[in-house]
């Protein structure tokens, strides 16, 4: 039987691109996201293109009970995932911390930290019992290099990095691998979500920059997952060619 990948945030951006890359490799997919309609459309697309075996799991990773129930159903119907990709995450706003809306603070913490932690907790015991599995957590260069207006977001991504390191220590006697993927500027719907749907402001983030694409990150994840059993890639930092550290990006002037 082919390997099973459970992917959160699977209907857009890096999550969707990763799911497609794995579908092309013959993985069975269990895709989770909040929007059930988009999940069904995504699954049908992969079935048509790759004849992929796909199940969909509408899930808000901020809901602890829903996480537990979903994980139990996935393992009962599909089996224990060979690969867990924790992609669900977001940024909100780009103002000084003293002006950040409390709702935005809570949403970033609940999604980027709490949700990722609890999804991992829901599957890890079964992986340990089977003594195999690969956990891939989507961090960010923001977790390595803080930048103005993003104190909370940067802190959540730093938490992803240290959380992954801690799990790697906890499972050192097993055959479970843990990888943190830390992308820089990637042109997805990320900025539009950050700016609460302000597309013009979001588009300006990528003007003059040959930004990374979601497929670039998916290709790296595919490479990480394809390594032999003896190889564990703990961290990968990926930046655009004109990006140095975090928010330091060189933009070309319009001619």
* pLDDT tens, position by position, 104-141: 999 999 999 999 999 999 999 999 999 999 999 999 99
Distance CA(89)–CA(148), nearest Å, equals 19
204 inside domain: no
What is the strand order of the sheet 83-86 is part of? 54-58, 28-33, 4-8, 83-86, 133-138, 176-183, 235-238
Looking at the predicted structure, is the pLDDT value of residue 166 above 70? Answer: yes
Please give the model's pTM, rounded to 2 decimal places: 0.96
Tell me what pLDDT residue 22 has: 98
205 inside domain: no
Which region holds residue 210: left if phi is over 0, alpha if psi is between -120 and 50, else beta? beta
Tell me what pLDDT residue 113 has: 98
Tell me what pLDDT residue 255 has: 53
Tell me what pLDDT residue 248 has: 85
Average pLDDT of span 215-237: 98
Catalytic member of 27, 38, 145, 153? 153
Tell me what pLDDT residue 247 has: 76
* pLDDT tens, position by position, 171-199: 999 999 999 999 999 999 999 999 989 89
Tell me what pLDDT residue 254 has: 60
How does residue 245 score in pLDDT terms, banded at 50, 70 and 90?
confident
157 among known catalytic residues:
yes
* pLDDT tens, position by position, 68-112: 999 999 999 999 999 999 999 999 999 999 999 999 999 999 999
How many domains does the structure of the chain reveal?
A: 1
Beta strands, E only, the chain: 4-8, 28-33, 54-58, 83-86, 133-138, 176-183, 235-238
Q: How many residues does the chain have?
A: 255
249 inside domain: no
Diameter of the chain measured on Cα atoms: 59
49 inside domain: yes
Of the chain, the end-to-end C-alpha distance in Å amounts to 54
Catalytic member of 97, 157, 161, 206? 157
244 inside domain: no
114 inside domain: yes
149 inside domain: yes
147 among known catalytic residues:
no
Looking at the predicted structure, is the pLDDT value of residue 1 above 90? Answer: no
100 inside domain: yes
The CATH number of residue 127's host domain is 3.40.50.720
Beta bridge partners of 33: 58
Domain that holds residue 223: 4-184+212-238
């Amino acid at each position: 039987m082919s390997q099973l990948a459970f992917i959160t945030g699977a209907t857009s951006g890096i999550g969707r691109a990763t799911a497609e890359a794995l579908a092309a490799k013959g993985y069975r997919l269990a895709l989770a996201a909040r929007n059930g309609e988009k999940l069904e459309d995504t699954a049908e697309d992969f079935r048509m293109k790759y004849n992929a075996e796909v199940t969909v799991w509408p899930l808000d990773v901020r809901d602890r009970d829903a996480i537990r129930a979903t994980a139990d159903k996935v393992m009962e119907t599909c089996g224990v995932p060979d690969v867990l990709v924790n992609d669900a995450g977001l940024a909100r706003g780009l103002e000084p911390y003293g002006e950040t809306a409390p709702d935005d603070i809570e949403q970033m913490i609940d999604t980027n930290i709490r949700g990722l932690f609890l999804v991992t907790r829901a599957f890890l015991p079964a992986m340990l019992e089977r003594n195999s599995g690969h956990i891939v957590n989507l961090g960010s260069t923001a977790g390595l290099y803080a930048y103005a207006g993003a104190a909370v977001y940067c802190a959540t991504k730093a938490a992803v990095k240290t959380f992954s390191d801690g799990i790697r220590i906890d499972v050192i006697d097993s055959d479970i691998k843990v990888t943190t993927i830390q992308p820089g500027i990637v042109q997805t719907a990320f900025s539009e979500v950050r700016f609460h749907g302000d597309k013009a402001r979001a588009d300006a983030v990528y003007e003059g920059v040959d930004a990374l694409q979601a497929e670039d990150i998916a290709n790296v994840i595919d490479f990480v997952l394809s390594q032999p059993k003896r190889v564990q890639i703990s961290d990968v930092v990926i930046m655009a060619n004109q990006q140095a550290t975090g928010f330091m990006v060189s933009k070309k002037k319009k001619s």
